[in-house]
Amino acid sequence: MSSIPSFDELDEALLMKIEADPMNFESFQIEYKIDFHNDVNELRSDIIAFANGSLVGFLFFGIQDSPIKVIGIEKTKVDAIKTILNDVLPKKIDPILSPFPIFKPIPLSNGKYVVAIKIIPKENGIYGIRQGDNPSAPNFLTYEFWVRMDGSKRRLKIEDIEEIILSKGGVEKKKLKVSLNPVTLAPTITKEAIISIQAVNISTRPIIIQEYGIMHEDEKIKITIAPPKGITSGKLFYDGFTENMLEMENPQKILGTDLPKTLNDGESCSAYIIRKKFDELSKENGYTFPLKVKAYFRSNEEMFYSDLIELQEWK
């Protein structure tokens, strides 16, 4: 949501405002589900994905995503969610959820309900889902771990688990300095003005970059820049680079550091996009000049942004 209302104040009127606001979409903090299908495992992984993050999470049942539409679920399903949340869900989660998720049924005028669940992130350490019930079974101490990403959840690898534990253990917060240069010297082979973006790790802890690009001020449209297939860091296309670029499957991609990329202290990664191409893409999506944009770099844990830069149309 563009802004998260007070959980205690959530009612049908606020839900209808959410439905009407075009800026509302799933994010690090929000997930919408149109229905509940009695899937305990999915609910359990959704809950700990939010709890393993760094921001308060909100899970809604009875709201359709893309486009956002308040539909509601039957009371029997509301009761089922409450029972599972209180009695079944915690049984395979270690350590015990604390604080426990807050459950709120919201009645609708159509006789149905939206169920809202508020999940408080764990201050230190991480939650895991135990795979077995029987203490004597080989899988009893086998766990899977989840975390919330931007609009979805992801199962964690060992290095991700280590990063989260360190980040919640009083270790220095990760810092990524992000910059955007609206017109920079182009590689001579392109003969074009380009926009450059760069991120430098200025903390002592490694940061894994998963995605980067340029985002408009309203955050409705982002132009993702990723390295071209087969191109390694620091290399360019040859063989008539500028002429052939517009015929490529993803014409906005021209040069970038291979991803995912782990940046240690002082290391950087960067990407470039031809300025005229960026202007064309912006106008195709309904933007007029002057406009404000910012660079973004998404790590495996959070987003980092540059300052907003105002652009005039490139002539």
pLDDT digits (tens, 9 = 90+) for 46-65: 999 999 988 889 999 999 98
Give the domain-ending residue among 148, 167, 186: 167
User: What pLDDT was estimated at residue 22?
Assistant: 64
- Split at pLDDT 50, 70, 90, the class of 248 is very low
Give the domain-ending residue among 128, 150, 167: 167
Greatest mean pLDDT among 74-83, 122-131, 181-190: 74-83
- Split at pLDDT 50, 70, 90, the class of 242 is very low
Give the domain-ending residue among 109, 141, 167: 167
| 161 shares a domain with 18 | yes
**35/158 Cα distance (integer angstroms):** 32
**Looking at the domain assignment, is residue 275 inside a domain?**
yes
| 202 shares a domain with 156 | no
User: What pLDDT was estimated at residue 73?
Assistant: 96
**Averaged pLDDT, 269-294:** 86
Across the chain, mean pLDDT equals 80
Which is nearest to 66 in space by CA: 169, 170, 188, 152? 152
pLDDT digits (tens, 9 = 90+) for 98-155: 889 999 999 999 999 999 999 999 888 899 999 888 888 888 889 999 988 767 788 8
Going from the C-alpha of 103 to that of each of 68, 99, 123, 246, the distances in angstroms are: 21, 12, 20, 51
User: What pLDDT was estimated at residue 23?
Assistant: 64
pLDDT exceeds 50 at position 241: no
- Split at pLDDT 50, 70, 90, the class of 196 is confident
**Looking at the domain assignment, is residue 1 inside a domain?**
no
- Split at pLDDT 50, 70, 90, the class of 4 is low
User: What pLDDT was estimated at residue 239?
Assistant: 28
Residue 182 is part of a domain; what is its CATH number?
A: 2.60.40
The predicted model scores a pTM of: 0.56
| 223 shares a domain with 85 | no
Taking residue 86's Cβ as centre, other Cβ atoms within 10 Å add up to 12
CB of 1 closer than 8 Å to CB of 18: yes
**122/117 Cα distance (integer angstroms):** 16
Residue 59 is part of a domain; what is its CATH number?
A: 3.30.950.30
CB of 115 closer than 8 Å to CB of 81: yes
Residue range of the domain that includes 39: 7-167
Taking residue 286's Cβ as centre, other Cβ atoms within 10 Å add up to 9
Number of domains in the chain: 2
Going from the C-alpha of 6 to that of each of 14, 58, 118, 153, the distances in angstroms are: 10, 11, 11, 24
**Of 20-24, 84-88, 199-203, the least confident:** 20-24
